[in-house]
Amino acid sequence: QVRLVESGGGLVQAEGSLRLSCTASGIISFNFMGWYRQTPGKQRDMVAHITSDGSTNYTDSVKGRFTISRDNAENTVYLQMNSLKPEDTAVYYCKAYAWRGPGYTWKDYWGQGTQVTVFS
């Protein structure tokens, strides 16, 4: 069974920082892992993702403030969020494009989400 478990969300004042973590289990290999966020009534949007070779990509609104990194040995991806703004408030979801092993195909897996609330 594949599980992506997120942690690190919470309530923070504007200009503060949070670090999100997502650890994957039940996965043999993954191509990329990323963070998405969603607010009520809106679609889920990509925030940042990182590939197996370490290449990163960020949505424009977080460039220079957020940093994604990964620990391949631990199947864990992190999102360091600095200079947070109220508009960063959302539920943040971890996603992995991964392979469970023989007999399975590559597919997307999602975590359960963690709430980030930034107040001014």
For residue range 79-107, what is the model confidence (pLDDT) as tens digits? 999 999 999 999 999 999 989 889 999 99
CB atoms inside a 10 Å sphere around CB 115: 11
Mean pLDDT, range 34-42, rounded to an integer: 97
pLDDT of residue 96: 93
Give the integer Cα–Cα distance in Å for 106 and 29: 9
Strand partners, 34: 49, 95
How buried is residue 73: exposed, middle or buried, by Cβ count under 10 Å (0-12/13-18/19+)? exposed
pLDDT at 1 over 90: no
Residue 22 above 90 pLDDT? Answer: yes
Quick: pLDDT tens for 59-86.
999 999 999 999 888 889 999 999 999 9
Number of H helices, E strands in the chain: 0, 11
pLDDT one-digit tens code per residue, 49-66 = 999 889 999 999 999 999
